[in-house]
Structure 1
Amino acid sequence: MVLASQAQHGMWITEVLHGTGTAYHMPFALWFDGPLDREAMLRACEAVVDRHPVLRCAFEQRDGELHVVPAAGRPPVAFATAPDPGHLLRTEIARPFDLGRGPLARFTLVEVTRERHVLLFVGHHLVFDGMSKDLLTRDLAAAYAGEALPPLPMPYGARLAIPPEASAYWRARWRDASEVVIGGTARTVGTAGRAEEVLLDLTGEMAAAQAAGVTRFEAFLAAVHGLLFSYGNAEVAVAIAMSTRDAGTRDHIGLFATELPVYSTPKPDTTFRELAHALRAEVHELNRFRDVPAARAAGGVRPRPALAPVSISFRRRAANVVFPGLRTSAEWKMSNRTVRNVLHLQAVDGDDGLRLTLHYSPDLVSTQDVEAAGHDLRAVLAAARADPDVPLTGLAPTRALPVATPPPVAAGSGGPPAPAPVREAGAVDGELVEQVRLIWMEVLRIDDVAPDEDLYDLGGHSLTITQISARIRKRLGVEVPFDVFLDDPTVTGVAAAVSELRA
C-alpha cells in the first residue's frame, strides 16, 4: 500500500462526487491482419500485467489519504470470437470499474476471422494515460516476439507538498471559467455526459507552426484560442493535458499526466504570431508547476469534472512497432462516448499527419455548431499558414454566427449548480456543530470558522474533503457522503448530515 499521486486523488474524488460514467475509461485497440499466434498474444498481455504493477491495483481512502492497494484480482485477459466485434467492443468499453476493488484494466482479444484479430485494452485513467498507449504497444510487441519484460517498481508513494510559489502562481492566475461561446450561444459546463464526435484531418494546415516559428502544439493551441476569441470570448480558457513523466517514470504505464488551464485575453489587433508566442511563454511558465494540481494550489475550487469548458489533448504518436508476421493498425483516438466539458479536442500527431477528433456533448452544443467550429479551426490555421502576422480579426469566420437559444439541458447533464439549502445553525444540535467546526479548523489550519461559511471560500479543495470526512468518521462514528460537501459545504450543513445519519 502506497500513497496515490495528487493527480490520482483529484481524479478519484471527481469520479466519486460526480459519477462520471465512462469519462475516465481509456480504450485502445490494436488490429492485426495475418496469422496471429493466439496463445503468444495472450501471454504477451499477461507479461504486460506482470511488468506494470499499477495495472494490478485499486484505490482505497484511509484517514483522509488515498492509497494505491492490491486489487482483488488480476486484470482479466479474455478471448472471444465475433465476426462483427462492434457490439462486443462497445460493451467492454462501457463496463464499469470498481475503484475500491479493481482490477482497473482488462484485455480482450477478439478473432474476427482466422486472419484478422483485434486486441482491446480498457484501463481506467487512474492507471493509464495517453502516453501509456505507446508503452503498452511497445511492451506487447516485445513480449509477443519472445522478449522478457523485466518487472518495474511501483512508481507512486511519494508525499508531495505544494510549493508556496505554485500556490502564488495559481492564485494569481486562476479563473473560474465555466462558459464558452460557440455558435453565438454561451455554453455552460456541467457534469460528464454522453458524447458525439466530429473527425478532421489537419495535416496540411499545420504548416502554420513553421510559418509562425512555434511548435505544432503551440500553433494548434493558438488556433483554438484565436477561434474562441473570434466567437466572442473576450477571455479564453482552455485546459491542456501535460505529461508529468520524468526519467524515472518514462517507461511506466500509469497516470503521469495533468490537466492545466491556459488563459488568454487577446486584442482584435493581436496577430496569430503574437498570440502563439504569448501562449508559448505561458505554457513554459506553467510547466514549472505541472506536478501540482492547479485547483488544489489555487485553493477554494470546488471539485469538478473539468477545469475549463474547452480542453485539448495533443500527443505526438511514437513510431510504429512491429509484431512479427502481422500487419498492425492502432485506434489511437478510440472514444469512450463520454465528455467532461462542452468540447474536447483530441489531436494525435504522427509522421503521417495530424488527426483531430472533436468530442462534444449534444446536450450542450449541436452537431452543426461543432462541424462549423471544425471548419473554422481549419480556416484559422490556413490563414495563419499563409500569413502568421494577420490580426485575429482577419482569422474570424466570414459567415455570421446566429445568436440562438441554448439547447435544453438534459437531466443530470449540467448547468449551474442549484443553490445550497439554507440551514439555521440552531436547527442542529449545538454541540455537534461545534465538534464539526473544530474539525474544520484543524484541517484548514485556521483559528476560527463560522457555521455558515463556505468550505471553498475558506480555501478548501478535494484533499480537504477527504481529510474532514476521515476525522468525522474517526471521532463521530459516521461516514459522511462526499456529495454533502457539494450540496451544502458549511459546518452547519455537514453537521446536519451527521445528525441525519445518526438518526
Structure 2
Amino acid sequence: MSEPSEGATLPNSDAQRTRMSGEGSCLTAAIEISGPADEDLLRARLARLVARRPALRSVFGSATGHRVLDGGTSAFTRHRVDGAGREARWALAYELARQEATRPFPVGASPLVRAALFTAEADRHLLVVSADQLVCDAWSANLLVEDFLAADLDQAPDAYPDVWRGRQEWLDGPDGLAAVGRRRQAVMGAHRAWPLSGRPDDGDPDELVERLLEIDDETTLELRRRVRQAKGSLLAVGAAALALGAVGHVTQSLALSTMFAARETEAEANVVGWLSNDALLVLPPQRGTVLDYLTAIRGEIFAALRDQRVPAERLASALHPQSGDAGLSFALLYLPAQLSGGGQVAMQLGAAEAARAAVSICPTGTDVDLFMVEDPPPRADGARPLLRLGATSTRGRAGTRETERLLSRWGDALAVLAGHDWSTTPMREIASVLAAAPGGR
C-alpha cells in the first residue's frame, strides 16, 4: 500500500452521491472530560486529526468526485453553559450537543470535521467531535476518538485515497459484479416499505424525533443467555423483534437496512472514511419456531456479510415495487461494546480523565433509524444499562407518537422473546402473545 496521494481526485461512491442529493448529516463521537479541559491541547489534537486523516480534508464539489487537500484548519468552539442547578445545566448542554451533532457541513466545506466543547461545571465537560457522514462511518468515529485520546500515534499512515480507489476497482471488476448479482437475487421482491401508516402527528415540530429506551438488565441477560445457547446473534434477535413489534405476524419478505464496517484488510482498518455500506437484509416470513426464524435471519446476515462491500443503492431496483405511501422503511444498527465505547475504561487527556459518551443518533436516510447499543456509554444522568435502544424518525414520515410506539413495541417484543423457549415455541405464538399485550396491534 503506497502513501496517501495528497491532492488526489477520487470518484464518489454510490452512497456518497446519494447523500449529496439529500440533507447533510454528521456522525458524532463524544468524550466526557473530568478535570481541567486544556483548550490548547484539544485544539492541537483536532489539528493533528486533520493532518493525519486525508478523508477529513476532502472537498465534495460535484456528485461525481471529491478531492483531498493538502491541509486545512478545522473549527473548534467552546460553550459555557449557564443556568440555575447542575441538572438543568447538563440537560441544556446535552441538548446543545445534540443540535451540534445534527448541524450539517456546508456543501464544498473542508475540513469535514469540527469539535465543540461544552462546559456545565468547572471540572466536567463534554467534547463533541462531528464529521461529515460523506467521509465518516461508525468505525471511523472510533478511530477519531482514539486519535484524540492517544498521547502518541505510531500507526501506519492513513491510506484513504489508495484504499478508496481499490474498493471502486473491486466493485467494477468481476468479483464485485458477481457479488452485486448474488445480493440482487437475495433481496429480489422483498418489501422495503413495511405495512405501517407512518403518518406524522399534527403539530409535530419540523425536526427529527429522537427517543431512547433502556431494556432492563434481567431481560438483557436472559436474551444473551438464549443467544449463546442458540449460537446465534443479538443482531438477528433485534431484527426479529423489530418485525414483531412493527408488523406482528410477518407473512411477506421484508427488507431491512443495516450497516457493516466492511474493514477487510489491515490498511482499511486504520482508515477514516465512508467504507461502511448500508446493507440490505431480508427478513423472511415467520415460519416454524423462534429458533427456525432466528436461524434464517442469521443466515441472511452471514450472506450479506460475505458481500458487505455491495452498496444498497445497486440493489434498490430488485425490491418489490411499492408506492411511496405503502409504509415506512427501517434501518437497524447494532453496536457491540467495542464499537460504542461502552467497555472502555477512562483514559488521560492531558491532566484530565476522559471517557467516551453517547450524544446522538445519526440519520441514515430511511424513515426510521433504530439502534441497539450493548453496554452503552453513560447518559448525562449517569444511567448505563446493559442494552439501550434508540430511534429517530425522518420529519414528515413517522411522528412523535408513532416513533415512541415503535420503540416501545420493539422493547416489548424483546421481552417476550426473552421469556420463551426458542427451540419449541412457534413464531405465530410469539406474535399472538405480543398482539395480546397492552398496546398490541
2:424 counterpart letter in structure 1: D
- Which amino acid in the other structure matches residue 137 of structure 1? V
Q: Whole-Å Cα distance in 1 between the matches of residues 312 and 406 of structure 2?
A: 28
CA contact under 8 A between 1:314 and 1:348: conserved in structure 2?
Answer: yes
CA positional deviation for 1:400: 7.1
**Structure 1 runs, 4 residues or longer, greater than 6 Å off:** 400-404
The partner residue of 1:288 within 306, 325, 330 is 306
1:13 aligns with 2:49: no
Q: Could you say what the CA RMSD is over the residues aligned between the two structures, in angstroms?
A: 3.5
Where do residues 442-461 of structure 1 align in structure 2 (5 Å cutoff)? none
Q: 1:264 to 1:232 in 2, by over 3 A?
A: closer
Q: 1:255 maps to what in 2?
A: 274
**Per-residue deviation, 1:346:** 0.9
Q: Percent identity?
A: 20
Letter in 1 for 2:138: G
Contact 1:226–1:392 (Cα < 8 Å) also in 2: no
| Structure with bigger gyration radius | 1
Q: Is the 1:48–1:140 Cα contact (8 Å) retained in structure 2?
A: yes
* Structure 2 letter corresponding to 1:364: A
Query: 1:312-333, CA deviations, whole angstroms, 9 ceiling, x for partnerless residues?
Result: 1112232415432544343335
Which of 374, 394, 414 is the matching residue for 2:410? 374
- In the alignment, is residue 393 of structure 1 matched against residue 428 of structure 2? yes
1:164 to 161, 177, 200: 177
Classify 1:364/1:107 alpha carbon distance in 2 versus 1 (closer, same or farther; 3 Å).
Answer: same
**Residue number among 117, 122, 140 corresponding to 2:125 in the alignment:** 117
CA contact (8 A) 1:241 1:313 kept: yes
Residue 193 of structure 1 deviates from its aligned partner by: 6.7
Q: C-alpha offsets along residues 10-39 of structure 1, whole Å, 9 cap, x if unaligned?
A: 23332343x325xx3212221111233332
Cα drift, residue 389 of structure 1: 3.1
Gapped regions of structure 1 (runs ≥ 5): 405-503
Q: Name the counterpart of 2:386.
A: 353
Partner of 1:341: 366
Aligned to 2:85: none
Change (3 A) 1:381 1:136: farther
1:134 aligns with 2:159: no
Q: Which amino acid aligns with 1:251?
A: N
Distance verdict in 2 for CA 1:58–1:277, change over 3 Å: same
1:152 maps onto 2:186 in alignment: no
1:26 match: secondary structure:
strand
Equivalent pair of 1:239/1:260 in contact (CA under 8 Å): yes
Amino acid paired to 1:373: R
Residue 215 to residue 259, structure 1, CA distance change in 2 (3 Å) = same
Partner letter of residue 391 of structure 2? L
Preserved CA contact (<8 Å) 2:213 2:408? no
- CA separation of 1:219 and 1:212: change in aligned 2, threshold 3 A: farther
TM-score by length of 1: 0.67
Q: How much has 1:151 moved relative to structure 2? A: 4.3
1:163-312 correspondence to structure 2 within 5 Å? 163-172=176-185, 173-175=187-189, 177-181=191-195, 185-187=196-198, 194-201=208-215, 203-207=220-224, 208-228=226-246, 230-232=248-250, 234-246=252-264, 247-268=266-287, 270-296=288-314, 309-312=329-332
* 1:328 pairs with 2:354: yes
What SS does structure 2 have at the residue aligned with 1:248? helix
Per the normalisation by structure 2, the TM-score is: 0.75
- What is residue 60 of structure 1 aligned with on the other side? 61
Q: 2:105 aligns with which of 97, 104, 126?
A: 97
1:37 equivalenced with 2:38 (yes/no): yes
Aligned residue for 1:230, secondary structure, equals coil
Q: 1:333 to 1:206 in 2, by over 3 A?
A: farther
- Following TM superposition, by how much is the alpha carbon of 1:167 offset from its aligned partner in structure 2, in angstroms? 3.3
SS of structure 1 residue aligned to 2:267: coil
Change over 3 Å in CA distance of 1:394–1:403 after alignment to 2: closer
Contact 2:147 2:153 in 1 (8 A): no
- Corresponding letter in the other structure for 1:316: P
Change (3 A) 1:228 1:403: closer
**Counterparts of 1:116 and 1:39 in 2: how far apart (Å)?**
17
Q: How far is 1:278 from its partner?
A: 1.3
Distance across 1 between alignment mates of 2:108 and 2:404 = 41
Distance in 1 separating the partners of 2:295 and 2:407: 28
**Cα shift at 1:199:** 1.8
In 2, Cα distance between equivalents of 1:105 and 1:312? 25
Structure 2 unaligned spans of 5+: 1-6, 83-88, 201-205, 377-384
Q: CA deviation at 1:214?
A: 0.8
